Amino acid sequence: MTGTAWFCLLGTLVSTATPGVARALPRDAAAPQDATARPRIAPAHTGRAARPDAVAPTLGEAGYYEAPAVNVLVFSNWYDGLFADSKISGVEIIQQGERIATNGDVRLSATPGQWDATARFVDRQVDRAAGTVTVTLEYPDYNWRYRIRSSTKGAAVALAVILDAPVPAALAGKAGFNLEFLPAAYFHHGYIADDRSGVFPLHPADTMTATPQRNAASGRAEGPGAEPNAIAQGTRLVLAPEDPARRVTIRSSAPVQLFDGRNQAQNGWFVLRSLIPAGRTGTVLEWEVQPNSVPGWLRAPVIAHSQLGYAPGARKVATIELDRNDRTTAPARLLRVGTDGSTTAVKTAPATRWGDYLRYNYRQLDFSDVRQPGLYMLEYGATRTAPFRIADDVYAGAWHPTLDVYFPVAMDHMYVNEGYRVWHGDAHRDDARQAPLNHEHIDLYAQGPTTDTKYKPGEHIPGLAVGGWFDAGDFDIRTQSQYQVVRSLVDTWEQWRPTRDTTAVDWTRRRTEIHVPDGTPDLLQQIRHGTLQLVAQFDAVGHAIHGIVEPDVAQYTHLGDASTKTDGLIHDPALKLGEERGGRRGTPDDRWAFTTKASALNYGSIAALAAASRSLAEADPALAKTALGIATRVWAEEQTHAPDLYQHGNTTGGPLDSERFAAAVELLRTTRDPRYATAVQTLWPAMERRFAFNLRDAVAAIPLMPQSYREGMIPAVRAYAAATVKAAAANPFGVPITTGGWAGSGTVIAGALNAYALHKAFPDIMPADPVFRGAEFLLGHHPGSDISFVSGVGTRSKEVAYGNNRADFSFIAGGVVPGVLIVKPDFPENHEDWPFFWGENEYVIPEGAMWIELAHAVQDLAGKPPAK
């Protein structure tokens, strides 16, 4: 439950982009694939029936075990620990195009949660000749190491847990080998444990055993809790015996128990677990894992394209993603849809082979010559896409759901209503308490050795319960996200001035009404809301703070209405727990404010305040004056002392010089004061070295700087443009595709906005194509599927996402998800059936703001002004 673990990467097009894992793939002939009319990955049951003779897996060049329609990965992925369990680690199974199991490792509970301890990865040795992978891991707090060794055994992959020292006494009865199976893959399926049968529950409803509930961060007892009991047990378990596409057989030297982790948390998985025996060394546990292999099975083609459509004069390329063994040569067709439902082929051509990328091979159809407006579909073999448009105004309303719905829903400290639906009540009226000293918290927050405020740890800091947005699928206010959003929204306002008004915001009543106009442009209202929180921080403590976040994991994992997360009453330590007096209460549920000074945060915040003061000059002149006053004062103060360099995680600002440069640029744009122009010029050499990260700020300063400043930028622009061309050639989608634990939609959008800024300023050097490619990637032209990563935008878009409503398996219109996660070494993934993959599906506010900006930019380049 992260939200922003990788947002320090925003704005980096080339320096952080990994071109992917392109490699030659086998070219063995295969039987023709079964036909399917689905435009995305074929459902599990569409594959061919299994042969009675199972095929033995082999350890391939990519370092994982391969059999027809099956891969078994053994620690190809190990998460770096920032957020503990991210469901991309350990032993993993990919079966018929879907990753159905993960986290095969020694864990310390039957159904561990995201914040529970994971072992530390030490070493991985691959012996292809012997067909073995040996991984060494450790729990350093217990001074205990173990190895997991995999090998082939008939049609199975054998897994052995090997100990040089027995399980520590403290872990006896706790340490066990777990393998977690995706619930969505096993809904409506059965299982057999030895000779007893069962059906996987759609909703958890199992017996529980009462246990003390402990804080995952501190280990302290927090009252009553419960652990689930096993729902089945045996030494031979068969999952989904009735379905060849999901059948997995586990044989073990020790009893294997089946648990439903959703009994403890909605994001839990079905877990198979065997306890590690105490007092033994050597090979103490052995499993044989046999996913059902289906010779001849082929994954259905995916026709990646923009779900929104294309402008008549735009480049139009669809990319057909094929199973590595798919040798069919069907023609690709573009179909025009008539008013009577008939379809007419307006272009039929052999798809041009692009080559291999990740685990698939790719062909492309260029239909740029088709310019007639209308409704179209693409077809390859038996796969046909959803309809999309060719139209002049195709991007005109693409940003409306984000501004109309997503941002209002994300507004903290407000009651938000949409028709008959209350999204949430007035949340966090009790903000906020001073965080404790020398404390490393969850979600990358930490407090240093002093508060840098006049408040003592635990004391209420008045004035913070105003403005701001929920950072992501969780509810914290991350300052770095707040000022990124404000600046992005200001950029949109100043370039295009969208006056769209569909939301009523009343800060006096603390109420937001979606789909109700109130006479003020919605974009200005959102700029004001973010500005209120930034101003409140300086008013409350005199400097920007890291953010405001829940005091413990129990609150942090809260789902549903944000107003029910705290009682809304300021904590009074003089009162007993639950006692209420004078509008205060003894319950310490108030969020914590992390306040250690960081000059980078100050500069980032005042850059946003300076920018906001321009946009709000007419709509709210008093707030505009206050914002600019803070910005100029804090800039001057920062020049009088050495910078405060406190850093932790991604909550204390970006690189200091970059944040300082941004502040200088925005202050220059607002005041025209030559002192800021001098600062811009002085900082430019450092910005040139990190041009990808800083180029939009650098370009924004051009009109207010000497001609020599622009001329001095040209070498960096040329180098960046050349790097963009190189990055575009690394995959068939023409954008940088990242390979970290947080997928790369933010990097793609930032790269497209970088290209737009450079194209407008240096059109002879930077073409416009990268802007369109970035938008099309977000809208469905990407690996793995053809779904739009902007909920509610495009014919088929993300309808199951990681918002604060994720437990409902629903979406928030206009939210942008991280998108394609590359499960190393070569598996592109974005689940539409399981919202809890935060690295793939979690909405974050900076991406939403940047999407509004990018949609305007693309429509501008398409030649028709965006709809107001």
Tell me how far apart the alpha carbons of residues 693 and 440 are, in angstroms, rounded to a whole number.
28
Q: For residue 735, is it within any domain?
A: yes
Dihedral of alpha carbons 341, 347, 350, 354, sign: negative
Q: For residue 15, is it within any domain?
A: no
Task: Please give the average per-residue pLDDT across 244-258, as a whole number.
Answer: 97
Q: For residue 186, is it within any domain?
A: yes
Q: For residue 172, is it within any domain?
A: yes
Task: Please give the average per-residue pLDDT across 659-663, as a whole number.
Answer: 98
Percentage with pLDDT > 90 across the chain: 88
Q: What is the CATH number of the domain that holds 673?
A: 1.50.10.10
CB 569 within 8 A of CB 465: no
Kind of pairing, strands 309-310 and 388-390?
parallel
HEC states along 73-120?
Answer: EECCCCCCCCCCCCCCCEEEEEECCEEEEEEEEEECCCCCCCCCCCCE
Residue 328 has what pLDDT? 86
Kind of pairing, strands 91-95 and 98-107?
antiparallel
Tell me how far apart the alpha carbons of residues 25 and 129 are, in angstroms, rounded to a whole number.
19
Q: For residue 361, is it within any domain?
A: no
Residue 222 has what pLDDT? 56
Tell me how far apart the alpha carbons of residues 396 and 410 are, in angstroms, rounded to a whole number.
23
Q: Please provide the average confidence, as pLDDT, over all residues in the chain.
A: 92
Task: Please give the average per-residue pLDDT across 419-430, as a whole number.
Answer: 97
Residue 415 has what pLDDT? 98
Greatest CA separation for the chain: 82
Q: Is the pLDDT of residue 683 over 80?
A: yes
HEC states along 129-155?
Answer: CCCEEEEEEEEHHHCEEEEEEEEEECC
User: Which helix (H) or strand (E) element contains residue 389?
Assistant: strand 388-390
Q: How far apart are the first and last CA of the chain?
A: 35
Contacts of 659 (CB under 8 A, 6+ apart): 599, 600, 601, 603, 604, 607, 653
Helix (H, G, I), strand (E, B) or coil at 685: helix
Do 128 and 264 have their domain in common? yes
Residue reference for tokens 């603390």: 510
Torsion of CA 205, 206, 209, 210, to 10 degrees: 0
pLDDT band at 400 (very low <50, low <70, confident <90, very high): very high
Do 416 and 280 have their domain in common? no
Give DSSP secondary structure letters for 599-622.
Answer: HHHHHHHHHHHHHHHHHTTTT-HH
Residue 82 has what pLDDT? 62
Q: What is the CATH number of the domain that holds 244?
A: 2.70.98
pLDDT band at 868 (very low <50, low <70, confident <90, very high): low
pLDDT per residue over 807-847, tens digit each? 999 999 999 999 999 999 999 999 999 999 999 999 999 99
Residue reference for tokens 């219109």: 813
**Residue 77 burial (CB < 10 Å; 0-12/13-18/19+)?**
buried
Q: How many CB atoms lie within 10 A of CB 386?
A: 18
The least confident of 550-564, 678-692, 749-763 is 550-564
Do 133 and 276 have their domain in common? yes
Both structure tokens of 365: 């159809």
Task: Please give the average per-residue pLDDT across 259-276, as a whole number.
Answer: 96
Tell me how far apart the alpha carbons of residues 770 and 858 are, in angstroms, rounded to a whole number.
10
The least confident of 80-84, 491-495, 562-566, 791-795 is 80-84
Do 270 and 408 have their domain in common? no
pLDDT per residue over 588-625, tens digit each? 999 999 999 999 999 999 999 999 999 999 999 999 99
Count of domains forming the chain: 2
Tell me how far apart the alpha carbons of residues 25 and 459 are, in angstroms, rounded to a whole number.
61
Q: How many CB atoms lie within 10 A of CB 55?
A: 17
Q: What is the CA radius of gyration of the chain?
A: 28
Tell me how far apart the alpha carbons of residues 576 and 585 are, in angstroms, rounded to a whole number.
8
Residue 115 has what pLDDT? 84
Task: Please give the average per-residue pLDDT across 738-753, as a whole number.
Answer: 95
Residue reference for tokens 């950072």: 471
Do 273 and 404 have their domain in common? no
Both structure tokens of 431: 């903000």
CB 173 within 8 A of CB 257: no
Q: Is the pLDDT of residue 403 over 80?
A: yes
Rounded to the nearest 5 percent, the helix, strand and coil shares of the chain are 25, 25, 45
Of 232, 256, 291, the one marking the end of a domain is 291
HEC states along 224-277?
Answer: EEEEECCCEEEEEEEECCCCCCCCEEEEEEEEEEEEEHHHCCCCCCEEEEEECC
pLDDT per residue over 324-355, tens digit each? 999 888 999 999 999 999 999 999 999 999 99
Contacts of 593 (CB under 8 A, 6+ apart): 431, 432, 433, 434, 435, 461, 464, 541, 545, 547, 548
Tell me how far apart the alpha carbons of residues 255 and 237 are, in angstroms, rounded to a whole number.
10
pLDDT band at 206 (very low <50, low <70, confident <90, very high): confident
Task: Please give the average per-residue pLDDT across 352-372, as a whole number.
Answer: 97
Task: Please give the average per-residue pLDDT across 390-411, as a whole number.
Answer: 97
Q: In what order do the strands lie in the sheet with 584-585?
A: 570-571, 584-585, 580-581
pLDDT per residue over 510-548, tens digit each? 999 999 999 999 999 999 999 999 999 999 999 999 999
Amino acid letter for position 127:
D
pLDDT band at 196 (very low <50, low <70, confident <90, very high): very high
CB 44 within 8 A of CB 94: no
Q: For residue 227, is it within any domain?
A: yes
Helices assigned H by DSSP within 424-562: 479-496, 522-541, 553-556
Do 435 and 580 have their domain in common? yes
Q: For residue 654, is it within any domain?
A: yes
Tell me how far apart the alpha carbons of residues 857 and 868 are, in angstroms, rounded to a whole number.
14
Do 275 and 418 have their domain in common? no
Task: Please give the average per-residue pLDDT across 226-240, as a whole number.
Answer: 96
Of 276, 291, 306, the one marking the end of a domain is 291
Q: For residue 11, is it within any domain?
A: no
Is cis: bond before 432, omega within 30 of 0? Answer: yes
Residue 85 has what pLDDT? 78
Of 248, 276, 291, the one marking the end of a domain is 291
Q: How many CB atoms lie within 10 A of CB 355?
A: 11
Backbone angles phi, psi at 423, to 5 degrees: -70, -45
Please give the residue that has the higher pLDDT: either 19 or 855.
Answer: 855
Residue 220 has what pLDDT? 47
Owning domain of residue 714: 400-862
Percentage with pLDDT > 70 across the chain: 91
Do 282 and 420 have their domain in common? no
